[in-house]
Structure 1
Amino acid sequence: MAQRSAAPDDPAAASRGISRRAQSDIYRAGISGIRPRVPVDTDALEAAARKALSAEAFAYVAGGAGAERTVAANRAAFGRWQVWPRPLRDVSSRDLSIDFLGARRPTPLLLAPLGVMEMAHAEADLAVARAAASLGVPYTLSNQASFPMEDVRDAAPDGARLFQLYWSASDELNASLLGRAEASGCEAVVVTLDTHLLGWRTRDLDLAYLPFTRAMGIAQYTSDPVFQQLVRERSRGTDAAADAPPPLKITPKAVAAGVRIARKGAAVTGTTSVHENLRSPLPRAAVETFLDVFSTPSLTWGDLAKARQWTSLPIILKGIVHPDDAIRALDAGVDGIWISNHGGRQIDQSVPTLEVLPTIAERVGGRVPIVFDSGVRQGSHLFIALALGATAVALGRPYSYGLGIAGEAGVREVVRNVLAELDITLGLSGHTSIAELGRDALRPA
């Protein structure tokens, strides 16, 4: 298959000198007393986001399952590897570009799907998409987005996009979502496998806060014609009263949540009038319908064949952490494997992803691309994961922190900083391209 460009400019040229430009921009601005919009240090970035976000938003973004041992293990796994520098090599010209999904990409970085970004910033996915497009980084649209995928396309028409699918209990809805993803220019489908049950997220539970119950993060659903029909059927169903949740205690927060749901209900009611939506049963029915159909615990390998009927896009399976499952994915004919434990948000004390990356990469043997995430915070982490066999690496929480602190500009700075550090690490270790990286670039700590 002939390769196409991921962006109008030469991908390799787009990544050259990114570290020099980043440092130069920061230091030159410093002459005027201007500091970066977001902290460069990863721990300071998280601390700044904690101050900028509401308690509920920060808990949802930063939290993990149980005692958050998987979150800690993901990050600690990178500390067990060291970059092994080789000096006296000409590294004056460096190339971060890679081949991925039939295109030459400027860098090996993707933005992972993060849902409910309206909790961090009002422009949510739109701001993230624009920032990603400006740097030539593909953005994986979340199934739990705050804006429909078509709006994200219109906000960044030149950006490269993938679409994440949470496999719904409704096959008609799955087919509709994938059809829309293809029509809106997404380049692949990322089927997320590890969220068929919601993880035991202690921070959210302590706050008794799940954004979806407030109609947040369900824009892909409420904008979908199949979902809208499911809502109408639920609203007028004869057993609707039996399925209705128990009445809420009326408090100021309950009233505020009701108003938010009414505002978000415009997509299913056809009116932006909050007053009319408060009186309509459809907005609340949309929330309850979403909670019913969001996922299916009965999903098995045999169901994956349906996705081939729903879309002609490449299919990547996200949530692979066992080598045997990676081989089974190959047998199922998928187009890519995404090694992930959902950033530690699903299972406490789960296997850290970096620990299994080398084995999975060896068994896959380059037959399909491998995307890696979980625990990634900085450019040196990208270097290590790429050296251990990843084709591309996905960044998650850090860009949401940038979004919460400074919107689109914050996302852009976070992504730029990660890429700049990768470029510097590549050069200082004696390498000039991502293709040169292998296990010999590392040493076990």
Structure 2
Amino acid sequence: MRALRALHDAARATLDPAHYDYVAGGAGEERVLADNERAFDRYRLLPRVLTGAAARDTRVDLPGAPGAAPVVAAPTAFHRLMHEGGERATARAAAAEGAVLVTGAASTTAVADVVAAAHGTAPEAAVWFQLYAHPRAEVTTALVRRAEDAGCTALVLTVDSPVFGRRSRDLRNGFTDLPPGYAAENMRDLPGAPPGALTDIPMSPALSWPDVAAVVRGTPLPVLLKGVLHPADARLAVEHGAAGVIVSNHGGRQSDAVPAAVDCLPAVVAAVAGRVPVLMDGGVRRGSDIAVALALGAAAVGVGRPVMWGLAAEGEAGVRAVLAGLREEYDHTLALCGGRRNTDLTRDMAVREDGTW
């Protein structure tokens, strides 16, 4: 997507280098970060002919978000470091484009203010809340209640972060906490917790499947599990009450020794067997990437870094440009594949670059 490259370049020229590196970087030698994008180049789309329509319906029903765009704004941290409009600008843009926003636990704007900004643009806009389960159950409960009270329509429980990834750029830049005047606002005033520092984001290697079940039981909101790569974990997620599974390697920011997310998608889809929707994120940069993911069984895709580049470069308008551009490219690709709706993209239409399945 040419416009996305231009937004990236403009963002890089605008941002403090340490803040740019925080978003752009990955874990270790950044092999997984690079492979997330390269993996899509290993797939081709095998179109059907004489089956299309003059107009296509690309809406999808997701948990707590009926009729959403197939492109979700994935959870990302510290939007106010990108642009003074911060998460409010991102929320307004996503709402205007009919896209679900997953607001991050490490948001520099409180979840209630993010949802208010989205609803100020589109009262029906869906905002999901990214949740890390805290070692202390009362803290997790407090975060869940904040999301419920704010008007979030689903929770996204991130399960691929037992510890922080070793991110070489951040270590080199000494970026270990937010600068003065910024905080992880959702972490303020929690039971027994200090105020909102980067290091307060809870990550626990002791998190287990009973903890997942407790989160599901403790809220009326649907709970999606994010960070699933192994098909056995996808089955366990459904068995423990997950309303959806998000195939993700955390944008290459956790382990530098895992497969590209899209390569894990087919096995997870097979394991879930249609019981709940499967989403994926990691490396989506073109409308054709979205089509590949949907052909491999995803209900929708998430984009993280592209949203941040749009925000840094042009604020709300930049985020809208990213989401609208990807959606329009996807619609064009769907037409070229002979599709009328998302479900017309089927597994037999996604082939490897050598033409094999």
Hey, what does 1:271 align to over in structure 2?
Answer: none
Report what 1:7 is aligned to: none
Task: Say if 1:117 and 1:217, in contact at 8 Å, map to a contact too.
Answer: no
Describe the shift of the 1:106–1:307 C-alpha distance in structure 2 as closer, same or farther (beyond 3 A).
closer
Given that 2:164 and 2:203 are in contact with CA atoms closer than 8 Å, whether structure 1 keeps it comes out as no
SS at match of 2:207: coil
- Provide Cα deviations, 1:371-418, integer angstroms capped at 9, x if missing partner: 110111121111000000001111111011000000001100111000
Q: Deviations over 1:175-226 (max 9, x none)?
A: 011011111111111110112211010111110112347573410112x4x3
Q: How many Å separate the matches in 2 of 1:82 and 1:352?
A: 16
Partner in structure 1 of residue 93 of structure 2: 131
Report the Cα distance in structure 2 between the residues aligned to 1:317 and 1:344, rounded to whole angstroms.
17
> Which residue number in structure 2 is paired with residue 162 of structure 1?
128
Query: How has the CA–CA distance of structure 1 residues 361 and 217 changed in structure 2, closer, same or farther, with 3 Å as cutoff?
Result: farther
1:377 aligns with 2:285: yes
2:163/2:205 contact within 8 Å kept: yes
Question: 1:348 Cα shift?
Answer: 1.0
> CA contact under 8 A between 2:11 and 2:309: conserved in structure 1?
yes
* 1:195 to 2:157 alignment: no
Tell me if the contact between 2:187 and 2:200 (Cα under 8 Å) persists in the aligned partners. Answer: no
Residue of 173, 189, 201 corresponding to 1:207 = 173
Aligned residue in 2 for 1:60: 22
Other structure's SS at 1:394 match: strand
* 2:108 counterpart of 1:141: no
Q: Is 1:333 aligned with 2:257?
A: no
1:78 and 2:44 matched: no
Q: Look up the SS of the partner of 2:193 in the other structure.
A: helix
% identity of equivalent residues: 38
Quickly say closer, same or farther: Cα 1:90–1:353, change in 2 above 3 A.
closer
Gap change, CA 1:120 and 1:104, over 3 Å in 2: same
Change (3 A) 1:152 1:68: same
Alignment of 1:8-407 (within 5 A): 40-101=2-63, 103-157=65-119, 158=123, 159-212=125-178, 214=180, 216-222=182-188, 224=189, 226-227=190-191, 229-231=192-194, 286=195, 291=199, 294-407=202-315
TM-score, with structure 2 as normaliser: 0.93
Rounded Cα–Cα distance in structure 2 between residues aligned with 1:44 and 1:121: 17
Aligned equivalents of 1:309 and 1:89: distance in 2? Answer: 44
- Residues in 2 aligned to 1:190 and 1:330: alpha-carbon distance in whole angstroms: 14
Whole-angstrom distance in 1 between the partners of 2:196 and 2:222: 31
Cα deviation per residue 1:35-78 (whole Å; 9 max; x = unaligned)? xxxx8444333222211211011101110001100011111111
Q: For residue 28 of structure 2, give the secondary structure of its aligned residue in structure 1.
A: coil
Counterpart residue type for residue 389 of structure 1: G
> Is the radius of gyration larger for structure 1 or structure 2?
1
- Give the superposed CA RMSD: 1.8
CA contact (8 A) 1:40 1:414 kept: no
Contact 1:129 1:156 in 2 (8 A): yes
Using the alignment, how far apart are the partners of 1:99 and 1:374 within structure 2? 21
Give the superposition deviation at 1:105.
1.5
**Alignment-mate amino acid for residue 110 of structure 2:** P
Structure 2 counterpart of 1:275: none
- Aligned counterparts of 1:179 and 1:193: Cα–Cα separation in 2: 19
Structure 1 length-normalised TM: 0.75
Alignment CA distance shift 1:309-1:358 (3 Å): closer
Of 380, 389, 408, 2:316 maps to 408
Q: Quick one: distance in 2 between partners of 1:309 and 1:56?
A: 40
**Counterpart contact for 2:79–2:108, Cα < 8 Å:** yes
Aligned residues: 349
CA distance in 1 between counterparts of 2:42 and 2:235 reads: 26
Q: Residue 216 of structure 2 contacts residue 241 of structure 2 at CA under 8 Å; is this kept in 1?
A: no
Distance 2:36 2:107 in 1: 25
SS at match of 2:282: coil
- 2:246, 2:286 → 1: CA distance? 19
Residue 394 and residue 217 in structure 1: after superposition, are their counterparts in 2 closer, same or farther (change >3 A)?
A: farther
Q: Deviation digits for residues 288-347 of structure 1, max 9, x if unmatched?
A: 7x6356222211112222213431111111110001111111221211111100000111
Which ranges in structure 2 are unaligned for 5 or more consecutive residues?
none
- 1:90 Cα deviation from its structure 2 partner: 4.0
Kept in 1, the 8 Å contact 2:58–2:69? The answer is: yes
Q: In the alignment, residue 54 of structure 2 is paired with which amino acid?
A: S
Give the Cα separation in 1 of the matches to 2:47 and 2:165.
Answer: 40
Q: Which amino acid aligns with 1:98?
A: V
CA distance in 1: counterparts of 2:244 and 2:180, whole angstroms: 34
Q: Which residue of 1 aligns with 2:341?
A: 433
For the structure 1 residues 287 and 162, does the alpha-carbon distance in structure 2 shift closer, same or farther, using more than 3 Å as the test?
closer
